[in-house]
Structure 1
Amino acid sequence: MDLVFIRHGQGEHTLDIPKSLQIKDPSLTPEGEKQAKLLRNLFPLTNDDILIISPIRRTLQTAFIWSENIDCRKIVSPLVSPRMFPIFPDKNTLPCDKIIDLEIIHRDFSTFKIETNVLQDIWSNGINVMPENEFIKIAEDFIMNCKLLQKEKIYIVSHDGTITAYRQLISGQSLSRKDFPLETGWFQITC
C-alpha cells in the first residue's frame, strides 16, 4: 500500500510570519486555491479513491477543491492534524493549528465523513504537541487502519510537520525541518 502525503495549499497563516501564525482558522489564499486546482492534473482522482484529511480549514479546502465533482471517500481525521516537528513538548499549539469544531466541518464540508474511531481527547487537542512515544503508537495504529482499507493508494492531505513525522516513522530515516514539503508538495511512501 502506498500513502501519498500532500501538504495543503498556501494558507493565510503563512503570509506575515510570525504574526500571521496567530490567525485562528486561516483559509487558503487565492494562490493556495490555484495550487489545490493543480492537484487535479498531478493526481487525477476517481470515485474509488480515498482522501484522509486533517480537520483544519486549509486542508479541508485543499481536498474540497482538488476533489470537486469526484465522489470519492473523504475522511476527516485528527490523526493527520498539525504536528510540531521536531517536537518541543513544552510548547503550545498555535492558533492557526487548532482543530476546528466538528459542527463547522459538518456545515462547511457536508460531504466529508468524520472519523469516529478516535478518542475525544485527540479530537480536542490533536497531535501537535503529543509526546513522541504517544504519537508513534497512534501513528502505527493509523497506518495499520489504512492497510485495512485494502487500497493500493491512499491520499492524505496534511501539514508539513505531520508529513515529516510520518515519513520519519515509516522510513526510519532521521529527518529535519529541511525535509518539509512545500505547499501542495507531496511524498509517496510504501508501507
Structure 2
Amino acid sequence: MDKIKAKELYKEMKQDASFNGYGLVFNDKKQKLFIKLHPWEDCRVYNYRDIMNDTWFLKPGSYNQGHPWLGAYAGSAMSHNVSGGIMGALMGSRIPGKKVTYTTNPRVNISFRDGFDITIVLGHGLIKDRSIRGRSIKEVIKILQAQLAKAEGEMTLDEYDKFMDRIWNS
C-alpha cells in the first residue's frame, strides 16, 4: 500500500472507529481492522474474520511497600528508656507496609490468517494497579479485549454495547 492511499484509508477508518489507539483502528461498520505502522507503506488492513487469535501477556505481581525507618522511629518513641528504645526500633522496623500489586509489561499479540503477527505493548516496566496509569491501562485492556472478542465473533454487538455501558458507568 502506498503512503497516500494508507493515509486516506486511515482517515476514513478513523471516522467511524469503535476503537482507535496503540496503532489499531477497529471499524465495526466495515468490519475491518487498520494497523498503523511506520513507515506508512507498511500499514495493513484486515477483515475481522482474518483475525485468528489474540494472546495476552499480563504478568501480575506484588510486593510490600514498607517504611522501616518510620516504623523504627515510632517504635523507639513509644518506648521510654534507652534499652526499650532500641528494642522498639527493631520491632518497629519489622512492621509490614501496604501490599502493592502491579503488572509488568502488559501486551497483546494478535495473529492473522496470512501469518502476520503484531505485538501491541500497552505499557513498559512495572505498572502499579492502583495508580492512575495502572487504572487507565486496565480500562484499555478491558476495552481492547472486548473489541477483539467482538471482532473474532466471540461476542455479539449487543453484548459488546452492554459491556461498554457497564465499563463507562462504573
TM-score by length of 1: 0.27
Higher relative contact order (CA 8 A, sep 6+): 1
Whose Rg is larger?
2
